[in-house]
Amino acid sequence: MNITLLYFGRPREMLATSSEIVQLPAGITTVAALLAWLRMRGNHWENELADNRVRCAVNQEMVPLSAAIRDGDEVALFSPISGG
């Protein structure tokens, strides 16, 4: 399963990554599982993508970390929003 990952705000800067296409190992079917998998990259990935820090959108809709992800999804990971 391939998904597009986008990063915004603090994680984009700290991880020095704004987008990537990743092939997920079998069994990763929720945002929470995706985050746990990305945290295995270590260092900043572990800190910036902690469940209590990161917010998520799937296909441009805000979702809780329990949300499902499917092949071809656009998954965005970001810090809490702060516009206006």
Partner 1 sequence: MGISIQHEDFDVAAELAALRAQSAETGALVSFVGLVRDFSGGERIESIYLEHYPGMCEQALAKIIAEAQQRWQLIGVRVIHRVGELKPSEQIVLVATSAPHRADAFAACEFIIDYLKTAAPFWKREQTAHGAHWLDTRQSDEQRMQRWFPQGDMQ
Judged by beta carbon, residue 25 or residue 61, the one nearer partner 1 is 61
CB of 27 to partner 1, least distance (A): 28
For the record, the structure tokens of 75 come out as 């998954």
Classify burial at 52, counting beta carbons within 10 Å of its beta carbon; exposed 0-12, middle 13-18, buried 19 or more.
Answer: exposed
Which positions touch partner 1 (CB under 8 A)? 6, 8-10, 12-13, 57, 60-62, 76, 78-84
Sheet holding 19-23, edge to edge: 19-23, 2-8, 74-78, 55-58, 61-63
Residue number with CB closer to partner 1 (62 or 68): 62
Which residue number, 36 or 63, has a Cβ lying nearer to partner 1? 63
